[in-house]
Structure 1
Amino acid sequence: MRRIMVLGSGVLAATLLLAGCSAGGGMSGVSDQSGEYSLPAAPDAGVVQGTEADSVTPEESRAVIVTGWMTVTADDPAEASAEAVKLVEAAGGRVDGRTEYAPSNGDRGSASLTLRIPAERLQAVIDDLAALDIDGTADEISTSSSDVTVAVADLDSRIATQRGIIDRLNALFGQAGTIADLVELETRIAEHQATLEDLEAQQRSMDDQIALSTLTLNLRSEAEAPVTQPLDFGSGLATGWGAFVAFFSGLLVALGVLLPWLVLAAIVSTVTVLLVRRRRRRRADAAS
């Protein structure tokens, strides 16, 4: 009987021990003898995990951000600006900024646009925008590219790391046994969630820059030639003769406009004078 009791006690102790080990393994070393939770150590979020970023990336899978600017001289910058917007939107892009300036110093104004163009359509759109120039060729064109393949891989890895940490913390949150553990886990989850959201915002911004190239388009117009001032007697005489001819030309035009009215006024005046004389003559005959 004593052996049975001893054997039963041993089996019970072994069962409890195995249960304790199993629970401890499920918590991944979360609790210690004091009952406090030991949170998992976060991997270094600034280091790309694995060798993806270090390996040679094929050309077709590289991530590149392209930016550029171009200057075009147009007959009417405002009209050219509207046409540029249509070209970009037809290519699937958008306009992030548009500023137009009124005419000044004898020109016909100017405009500046910030265009976002699908990377695969960039060259075709640049060619279309160059056609807006007076000569059909843009005055200046400049583009530059930046390879961000490693940065994209780094962001992807850091986001995956933060999501993994949050998943493990959520699992621990469901197994926490004290209020202090719950508060600590909740604080840690909120911190990593904020970091994750910031990284995801950076990822969205980078994806947008990769998909849509940024092109700054400056539209300008040629200034009209200023009036040349006479510098000597000959040029002064020519300027004076031109002014004289222009004056009498204008005078003849004005006379041509007024002539019908002058004829009408002369007719009315003549009729009025004849009627007055006739009336006076009648009065004189009646008085005699």
Structure 2
Amino acid sequence: MTTLRPRYALPALALAGLLLSGCAASGSTESMPDYDMSSDGGGLPQAPVFSEAGEDSSRELADDRSVITTGYLYVTVDAPLESATEAVAITEAAGGRVDARQEFAPNRGDAGGAQLTLRIPADRLTATLDRLRELGEVEELQLSSSDVTREVQDVDARVTALRSSITRLLALQDAAASVEDLIALETAISNRQAELESLEAQQRYLSDQVGLSTITLVLGSRKVAPVTEPDTFVTGLVAGWESLVAFGSGLLVLLGVLLPWLVLLGVLGLVILLIVRRARRTRSTSAASVVGGSADDGEQRVE
């Protein structure tokens, strides 16, 4: 009979413990529903018979789903900057937070705008969206969901298994009989600890994404709101009038821009005109003087 030396005893025990735990985990099976094995069925399994307790457990499984919800909401409001502050208050009142906020100052006659990234508790998402919709006129709303139940369960199981493995290795480390055993156990513990920290970070990220839905809220003024195509005579008339007013407003703006230049050009033109007239008068006076002098000389010669 072969005996293990003390320096190899602890690693062998650790390996045996890990193998036994793996066999125990693989040996466990999910419970199956009861089948009706009556004689009328010819010995073949019939349809599963679910009790009320089974229906309750199915509902619990449906409620335990892990879903990540994201969305986009565009609302037209009268005062986007004030509405942005109100949206922040609504989100914080629901237990959420604001991850990003960007505001745009009024420009060219509009009232400005704002864009916010809101993190809203998943169980209060519907109620919070209803309050956000009341800020103004909803132009666009998009929601999408991603089921990550399997991923969450996988990460949770791996975290639990790694914690158990580290606990067993720590117990073996306390009973290490040699330096070699201690080094081997410390290396194994360090590797598992690093993997555990990575999984725990992933676990926290998934928990945050599932617990808090991400909604991008855009608040715009009515001037920059999406244009609705006219489909009746009245809406066509309103659209035509608005386009006429916009064209007139554009002409007024253009006139306001050009008016200082027109005044400057007018002043320059007037100065040039005065200079030209004065030069002409000077020439006329000089010519008259020359003609008068010539006539006087002729009269003197005749005498």
Query: Does the aligned pair in 1 maintain the 2:102–2:116 contact within 8 Å?
Result: yes
RMSD across aligned C-alpha pairs, in angstroms? 3.5
SS at match of 1:138: strand
Gaps of 5+ in 1: 1-16, 22-31, 240-288
Match of 2:149 in 1: 149
Using the TM superposition, give the Cα deviation of residue 189 of structure 1 relative to its aligned residue in structure 2, in angstroms.
0.7
Compute the displacement of 1:51 (Å): 6.0
Letter in 1 for 2:86: E
Partner of 2:75: 72
Give me the TM-score of the superposition, normalised by structure 2: 0.58
Work out the number of aligned pairs and report it: 199
The list of structure 1 runs, each at least 4 consecutive aligned residues, that deviate by more than 6 angstroms after superposition, is: none
Partner of 1:249: none
- 1:128-187 CA distance string (max 9 Å, x none): 111111xxx311001111111111110111011101110121122112111122122112
The aligned runs of 1:52-201 (5 Å cut-off) are 58-133=61-136, 137-201=137-201
Q: Which amino acid aligns with 1:206?
A: L
8 Å Cα contact 1:109-1:221 kept in structure 2: yes
Of 15, 21, 28 in structure 2, the residue corresponding to residue 40 of structure 1 is 15
CA-to-aligned-CA distance 1:27-63 (integer Å, 9 cap, x gap) = xxxxx437233452868x9xx97667xx977211211
**Selected match of 1:228 from 234, 247, 258:** 247
Q: Distance in 2 between matches of 1:142 and 1:51?
A: 41
Amino acid of the residue matched to residue 7 of structure 2?
G
Matched-pair contact (CA < 8 Å) for 1:105–1:223: no
Offset, 1:227:
4.9
As a proportion of its length, which structure holds more helix? 2
How far has the Cα of 1:93 moved from its partner?
1.3
Aligned partner of residue 89 in structure 2, secondary structure: helix
| Letter in structure 1 aligned against 2:128 | V
Pair 1:51–1:115, CA change in 2 (3 A): farther
Please list the CA deviations of residues 79-110 of structure 1 after superposition, one character each: whole Å capped at 9, or x if unmatched: 00000011111111111111111223432211
Contact 2:6–2:177, Cα closer than 8 Å, also in 1: no
Question: Residue 153 and residue 51 in structure 1: after superposition, are their counterparts in 2 closer, same or farther (change >3 A)?
Answer: farther
In percent, how many aligned pairs have the same letter? Answer: 45
Which structure 2 residues correspond to residues 217-256 of structure 1 after superposition, within 5 A?
217-223=217-223, 227-229=246-248
Q: Given the two structures, how large is their TM-score scaled by the length of structure 1? A: 0.60
Amino acid in structure 2 at the alignment position of 1:35: R
Structure 2: distance between partners of 1:215 and 1:166: 40
Q: Mark the CA change 1:177 to 1:108 in structure 2 (over 3 Å): closer, same or farther.
A: same
Q: Which runs of 5+ in 2 are unaligned?
A: 31-56, 225-241, 256-303
Asked if 1 retains the 8 angstrom alpha-carbon contact of 2:74 and 2:138, the reply is yes
